[in-house]
């Protein structure tokens, strides 16, 4: 077991080194000239010390108590999740310091510590029960979320299973020790002061009655005189290091079941097997921690403190710290799904069922991109669509209990993917707001927009380029309400987008009433290529004021979808 412990510590330390070095060497959108890790680390340390030796120290301390310890952000979003987190985190940490780190550490915090004395006997069971309850609440939430916006990966279940099994195996181990007659006999031989068989029976009867030892010699109902005689004998040798085992209220209850079962299997074998499983699971969790989402127990406090000082809307003072903050944020994601539950783009997810529309799912794959892993092109295409459907409303960053600046990560990812290939066609839509929220990306945005407009120019004809119009059957756009249009032009007159321009016909290619007219004469092509449908703000004023109830905004949506389909299919749609 010592060898396994040493190996798990070694693996954990290697993993922590890789994680921390990744903070200062990797990123989603690295500059063309690489920034040395030492320079990024130095910039981070400089920001840290300038914060600690300034008035911002008060903010750091406040954030530590409100956000890190008491999880104010999580509480404001979901009481159930806050209860689950608090039970798991508080219970596990208290168990770790009071029990898991061994007698040396526990005695440092508690001078009178001994695992079989009160209050430690009861507290250990209480803390374990807290963790198990928190795990059950977390599992319930993931199984019952409707609609299914909280996605669960195998790593999420493994994390919960490891934590739950550590606690459950520890309770079963303690209950098997409580009921083990073999361990009891070893203790009597080493510490007991028993003169003859009658005293041995009295002591064993007392331990069976008060401590839950499984005994074939002590017969129920226990003789009160034997119990009292055993209590007196026990007081001469064992009372200083053993409180009544019923103080361990969970394990003592389980001992009533474990006693007969362990006796049948061999209680020494049962104790040693459970001990091995319990320690092995603890070592596995320790080794797995830096390579899994469990690393968030380190990354989340750092992310919350950064968020507390900077806020999610304030950019980092330099590129080095911006990249580092992104990497810390990706490490801090617990895949809890809070951002996905309140995402402003959920209406698109319900229609398209692209998981990358959900913020929590984008983050999982952006971790791979930041780490430099290869991702297949089909997945990248789906990810790019999910990134451009994002409205950059900041709601995800606001509700994130880990304090991650998700908007900054998503905007960086947009332009990283744009540099990898064809620009996403949704960049023409008003749902793409990076130009407004990230001024530093203006040049990139305009370059991508130019490339995309060139593709549309080559795919569709403009009204101004046509010398003749042909008449055909009304176009098929999934909405026939345009057939009621009689060109009164009320839609164009009331359109706020049209009113933005001195010469709207030149800037928008076609005006709203012209688009509807073109559909009426069967010319869908020029309608799909018009910049008007991409500039539409979906205010629905045209649709609300149309005297013939033509559903213009809905028709514009259908035209945009048809245009994207044609572009992506190579012009064959």
Cα–Cα distance, 380 to 350 (Å, whole number): 20
**Same structural domain, 162 and 92:** yes
Confidence of residue 136 (pLDDT cuts 50, 70, 90): very high
Q: What's the half-sphere exposure (Cβ side, CA atoms, 13 Å) at 287? A: 13
* Mean pLDDT value across residues 184-188: 79
Within-domain flag for 172: yes
**Same structural domain, 415 and 469:** no
**Same structural domain, 198 and 172:** no
Whether the per-residue pLDDT at 66 is higher than 90: the answer is yes
Within-domain flag for 362: yes
**Same structural domain, 85 and 200:** no
Q: Residue 18, Cα to own-chain centre: how many angstroms?
A: 21
* Mean pLDDT value across residues 555-565: 86
Q: Residues 477, 480, 486, CA angle at the centre, nearest 5°? A: 115
CATH number at residue 507: 1.10.1060.10
Q: Identify whether the C-beta of residue 495 lies closer than 8 Å to the C-beta of residue 512.
A: yes
Whether the per-residue pLDDT at 115 is higher than 60: the answer is yes
**Same structural domain, 141 and 202:** no
Cα–Cα distance, 448 to 332 (Å, whole number): 31
Among 285, 312, 334, residue at a domain's last position = 285
Lowest mean pLDDT among 93-97, 207-211, 430-434: 430-434
- When divided into structural domains, the chain yields a total of 4
Q: Is the dihedral of CA 558, 561, 564, 565 positive or negative?
A: negative
Instruction: State the DSSP code for 484.
Output: G
Cα–Cα distance, 235 to 91 (Å, whole number): 33
Confidence of residue 17 (pLDDT cuts 50, 70, 90): very high
pTM: 0.77
Whether the per-residue pLDDT at 573 is higher than 70: the answer is no
**Same structural domain, 110 and 168:** yes
Among 458, 477, 493, residue at a domain's last position = 458
> pLDDT > 90: what percent of the chain?
31
Cα–Cα distance, 23 to 7 (Å, whole number): 25
pLDDT for the residue numbered 262: 79
- Take residue 422 and report the two structure tokens written for it: 């064809």
**Same structural domain, 144 and 182:** no
pLDDT for the residue numbered 62: 94
* pLDDT tens digit sequence for 191-205: 767 778 888 888 888
**Same structural domain, 19 and 160:** yes
- Residue 118 CB: number of other CB atoms within 10 A? 12
Within-domain flag for 266: yes
* pLDDT tens digit sequence for 330-382: 999 988 888 888 888 877 777 777 888 889 999 999 998 998 888 888 888 88
Whether the per-residue pLDDT at 238 is higher than 70: the answer is no
Whether the per-residue pLDDT at 457 is higher than 80: the answer is no
End-to-end CA distance of the chain: 65
* Mean pLDDT value across residues 496-508: 88
Lowest mean pLDDT among 206-215, 216-225, 258-267, 421-430: 421-430
Confidence of residue 436 (pLDDT cuts 50, 70, 90): very low
Lowest mean pLDDT among 72-81, 459-468, 473-482: 459-468
* Mean pLDDT value across residues 130-150: 83
Within-domain flag for 405: yes
* pLDDT tens digit sequence for 288-321: 999 988 899 999 999 999 998 888 766 667 889 9
Residue with structure tokens 């977390």? Answer: 138
CB neighbours of 319 closer than 8 A, spacing ≥ 6? 31, 35
pLDDT for the residue numbered 22: 93
Instruction: Tell me, letter by letter, the H, E, C secondary structure of 363-382.
Output: HHHHHHHHCCCCCCHHHHHH
Whether the per-residue pLDDT at 265 is higher than 90: the answer is no
**Same structural domain, 439 and 487:** no
Among 236, 256, 285, residue at a domain's last position = 285
Within-domain flag for 311: no
- Who has greater pLDDT, 386 or 129? 129
Within-domain flag for 310: no
Confidence of residue 149 (pLDDT cuts 50, 70, 90): low
Within-domain flag for 532: yes
Confidence of residue 240 (pLDDT cuts 50, 70, 90): low
CB neighbours of 371 closer than 8 A, spacing ≥ 6? 22, 26
H or E element at residue 262 = helix 249-265
**Same structural domain, 368 and 443:** yes
Closest CA to 408 of 379, 431, 427, 387: 387
Whether the per-residue pLDDT at 523 is higher than 70: the answer is yes
Closest CA to 407 of 319, 479, 339, 486: 339
**Same structural domain, 542 and 469:** yes
* Mean pLDDT value across residues 432-457: 66
Within-domain flag for 305: no
Q: Which domain, by its residues, includes 420?
A: 323-458
Q: Identify whether the C-beta of residue 333 lies closer than 8 Å to the C-beta of residue 406.
A: no
Residue with structure tokens 């009164």? Answer: 488
Closest CA to 343 of 294, 410, 434: 410
Mean of the per-residue pLDDT values of the chain: 84
pLDDT for the residue numbered 77: 83
**Same structural domain, 465 and 399:** no
Cα–Cα distance, 409 to 329 (Å, whole number): 9
């Amino acid at each position: 077991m010592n060898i396994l412990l040493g190996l798990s510590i070694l693996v954990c330390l290697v993993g922590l080194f890789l994680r921390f070095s990744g903070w200062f060497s990797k990123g989603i959108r690295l500059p063309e000239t690489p920034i040395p890790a030492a320079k990024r680390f130095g910039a981070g340390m400089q920001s840290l010390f300038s914060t600690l030796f300034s008035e911002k120290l008060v903010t750091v301390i406040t954030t530590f108590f409100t956000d890190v310890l008491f999880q104010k952000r999580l509480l404001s979003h979901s009481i159930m999740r806050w209860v689950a987190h608090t039970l798991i985190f508080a219970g596990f940490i208290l168990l770790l310091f009071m029990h898991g780190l061994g007698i040396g550490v526990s005695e440092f915090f508690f001078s009178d510590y001994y695992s079989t004395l009160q209050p430690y006997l009861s507290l250990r069971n209480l803390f374990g029960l807290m963790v198990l309850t928190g795990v059950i609440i977390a599992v319930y939430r993931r199984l019952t979320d409707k609609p299914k916006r909280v996605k669960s990966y195998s790593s999420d279940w493994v994390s919960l299973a490891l934590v739950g099994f550590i606690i459950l195996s520890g309770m079963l181990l303690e209950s098997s020790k409580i009921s083990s007659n073999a361990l009891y006999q070893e203790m009597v031989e080493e510490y007991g002061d028993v003169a003859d068989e009658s005293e041995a029976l009295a002591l064993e009867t007392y331990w069976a009655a008060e401590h839950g030892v499984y005994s074939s010699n002590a017969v129920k109902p226990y003789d009160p005189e034997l119990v009292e005689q055993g209590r007196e004998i026990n007081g001469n040798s064992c009372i200083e290091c053993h409180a009544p085992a019923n103080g361990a209220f969970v394990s003592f209850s389980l001992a009533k079941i474990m006693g007969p079962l362990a006796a049948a299997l061999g209680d020494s074998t049962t104790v040693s097997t459970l001990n091995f499983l319990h320690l092995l699971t603890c070592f596995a969790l320790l080794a797995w921690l830096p390579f899994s989402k469990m690393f968030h127990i380190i990354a989340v406090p750092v992310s919350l403190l950064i968020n507390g000082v900077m806020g999610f809307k304030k950019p980092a003072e330099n590129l080095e710290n911006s990249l580092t903050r992104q990497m810390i944020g990706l490490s801090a994601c617990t895949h809890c799904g809070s951002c996905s539950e309140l995402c402003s783009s959920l209406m698109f997810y319900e229609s398209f069922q692209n998981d990358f529309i959900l913020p929590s799912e984008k983050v999982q794959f952006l971790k791979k991109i930041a780490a430099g892993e290869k991702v297949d092109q089909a997945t990248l295409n789906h990810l790019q669509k999910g990134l451009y459907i994002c409205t950059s409303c900041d709601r995800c960053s606001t509700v994130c209990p880990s304090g991650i600046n998700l908007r900054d990560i998503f905007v960086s990812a947009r332009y990283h993917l744009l540099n990898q290939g064809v620009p996403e066609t949704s960049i023409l839509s008003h749902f793409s707001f990076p130009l407004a929220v990230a001024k530093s990306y203006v040049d990139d945005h305009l370059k991508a927009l130019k490339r995309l407009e060139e593709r549309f120019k080559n795919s569709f004809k403009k009204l101004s380029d046509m010398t003749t119009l042909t008449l055909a059957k009304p176009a098929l756009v999934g909405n026939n309400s345009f057939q009621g249009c009689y060109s009164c032009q009320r839609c164009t007159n009331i359109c706020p987008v049209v009113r933005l321009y001195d010469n709207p016909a030149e800037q928008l290619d076609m005006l709203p009433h012209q688009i509807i007219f073109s559909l009426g004469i069967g010319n869908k092509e020029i309608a799909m290529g018009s910049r008007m449908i991409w500039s539409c703000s979906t205010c629905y004023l045209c649709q609300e004021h149309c005297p013939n109830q033509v559903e213009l905004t809905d028709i514009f949506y259908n035209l945009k979808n048809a245009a994207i389909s044609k572009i992506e299919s190579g012009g064959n749609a």
